[in-house]
């Protein structure tokens, strides 16, 4: 499959990474494309949540994320929803700044995960710590997998060989389960207003089923960071 150069205007950041996308057109046709884009956090975080082999729960049972196709039904926190978008890229041993995280079976509770779950650096998990009600006034929030790495239950690893990692998207931001662990769907958060227009156009071109950043909608849960994240991840 040829790599598609979406933009012709020159950019200071090189487009040195291959991203593969598949999406569902309004007429029900599944389309796919390969795009060359920068390996910056903006782009990487949209494609590196769940490693190949992760099992996403569907009404017909668990399905390996690499086998999911746009249009397939997935069980989410909002009910059964059709998958609209799937993206992937490769993390290689040379990508020293992009770690993977292995969560040991049952380390987060019975069958959470089952079996072991390998996540990418962009993964965020649902936390339901009781302290959240006091800290943010909600019973659940999203925490980055890196914040949970303790060398035992959640282990940071650098792959010995190339690993394909994925992210998936729905009509709205939501959560779903991978190997029994609640994780979030793709969402860019608030795009930096200082982002060069060309990069925003390139980013949005990777989501052909959307036309504007606002089409991602609001976050289903708050993403914790800073002091609150530190407090939650250190609560016994």
Query: pLDDT digit string (tens) for 70-116?
Result: 999 999 999 999 999 999 999 999 998 899 999 999 999 999 999 99
* Look-up of token digits 């979030």: 184
Assign 134 to helix, strand or coil: helix
What is this structure's pTM?
Answer: 0.90
Task: Confirm if 159 and 91 have CB atoms less than 8 A apart.
Answer: yes
The percent of residues above 70 in pLDDT, for the chain, comes to 92
Q: pLDDT class for 204, splitting at 50, 70, 90?
A: very high
HSE-up of residue 180 (Cα within 13 Å, Cβ side)? 15
* Look-up of token digits 């609560």: 235
Task: Confirm if 184 and 124 have CB atoms less than 8 A apart.
Answer: yes
């Amino acid at each position: 499959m040829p790599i598609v150069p979406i933009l012709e205007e020159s950019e200071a950041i090189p487009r040195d990474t291959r991203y593969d996308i598949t999406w569902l057109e309004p007429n029900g046709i599944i389309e796919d494309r390969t795009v060359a884009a920068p390996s910056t956090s903006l782009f990487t975080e949209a494609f590196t949540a769940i490693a190949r082999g992760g099992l996403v729960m569907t009404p017909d049972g668990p399905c390996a994320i690499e086998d999911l196709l746009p249009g397939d039904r997935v069980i989410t926190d909002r009910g059964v929803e059709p998958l609209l978008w799937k993206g992937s890229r490769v993390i290689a041993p040379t990508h020293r700044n992009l770690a993977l995280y292995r969560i040991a079976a049952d380390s987060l509770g019975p069958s959470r995960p089952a079996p072991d779950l390998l996540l990418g650096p962009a993964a965020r998990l649902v936390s339901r710590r009781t302290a959240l009600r006091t800290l943010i006034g909600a019973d659940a929030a999203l925490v980055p997998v890196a914040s949970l790495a303790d060398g035992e239950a959640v282990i940071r690893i650098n792959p010995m060989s190339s690993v394909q990692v994925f992210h998936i998207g729905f009509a709205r931001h939501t959560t779903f389960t991978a190997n029994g662990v609640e994780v979030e769907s793709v969402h860019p958060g608030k795009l930096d207003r200082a982002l060069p227009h060309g990069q925003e156009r390139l980013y949005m071109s990777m989501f052909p089923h959307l036309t504007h950043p606002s089409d991602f909608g609001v976050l289903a849960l708050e993403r914790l960071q800073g002091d609150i994240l530190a407090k939650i991840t250190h609560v016994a």
